[in-house]
């Protein structure tokens, strides 16, 4: 084998190895999803709030719970109206999450990342929503998108 063929083959091997390294390290990095970090403001005695946090953690969220005697000022700060209010308020990536919103809806919101939505709410405390399980009973409820100007629309139905 001539010296020039050996050099060409060695060069091809080095380039292929470098390409494989970039391919595998890039894919490994993207496979490690960013943790879904949420802060949840709640009453220290709220059992359904803790059950909702467990639902989030079971679905890949990392939750920091902040106990407050009165969550109302936080709700007002985040634009939660009495019509969309529930018992606890979360914040993730700049979005407000009010009440027993399923983890799948939060993940969908984060994936779509819409500018016109300020947050999601499951108003009241719908029976059968995450954290509000009561046996086999499951009431129908909507998750509401809270939009700019405090307009609302249905984000999902359960």
Average pLDDT rounded to a whole number, residues 61-74: 96
Confidence of residue 59 (pLDDT cuts 50, 70, 90): very high
pLDDT (0 to 100) of residue 136? 93
Residue 7: give the domain boundaries: 1-32
Check whether residue 129 and residue 103 sit in a common domain. Answer: yes
pLDDT tens column, 8-42: 444 444 444 444 444 444 443 334 566 799 999 99
Q: How many structural domains is the chain composed of?
A: 2
CB distance 102 to 158 below 8 Å:
yes
For residue 64, what is the domain's CATH number? 3.40.30.10
Q: Of 84 and 12, which is predicted with more confidence?
A: 84
Check whether residue 141 and residue 110 sit in a common domain. Answer: yes
Average pLDDT value for the chain: 85
Average pLDDT rounded to a whole number, residues 144-156: 94
Average pLDDT rounded to a whole number, residues 133-158: 95
Note the pTM of the prediction, 2 decimals.
Answer: 0.78
Residues 6 or more apart from 88 whose CB is under 8 A from it?
40, 41, 42, 43, 46, 49, 52, 71, 98, 99
Check whether residue 4 and residue 79 sit in a common domain. Answer: no
């Amino acid at each position: 084998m001539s010296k020039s063929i050996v050099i060409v083959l060695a060069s091809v091997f080095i380039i292929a190895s470098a390409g494989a390294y970039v391919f595998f390290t890039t894919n490994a990095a993207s496979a490690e999803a960013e943790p879904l970090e949420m802060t949840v403001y709640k009453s220290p005695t709220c059992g359904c709030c803790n059950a909702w946090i467990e639902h989030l953690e079971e679905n890949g969220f990392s939750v920091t719970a902040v106990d407050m005697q009165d969550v109302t000022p936080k709700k007002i700060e985040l634009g939660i109206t009495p019509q969309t209010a529930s018992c606890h308020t979360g914040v993730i990536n700049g979005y407000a999450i009010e009440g027993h919103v399923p983890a799948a809806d939060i993940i969908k919101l984060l994936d779509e990342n819409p500018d016109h939505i300020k947050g999601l709410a499951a108003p009241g405390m719908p029976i059968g929503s995450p954290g509000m399980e009561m046996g086999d009973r499951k009431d129908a409820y909507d998750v509401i998108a809270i939009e700019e100007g405090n307009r609302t629309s249905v984000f999902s139905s359960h």
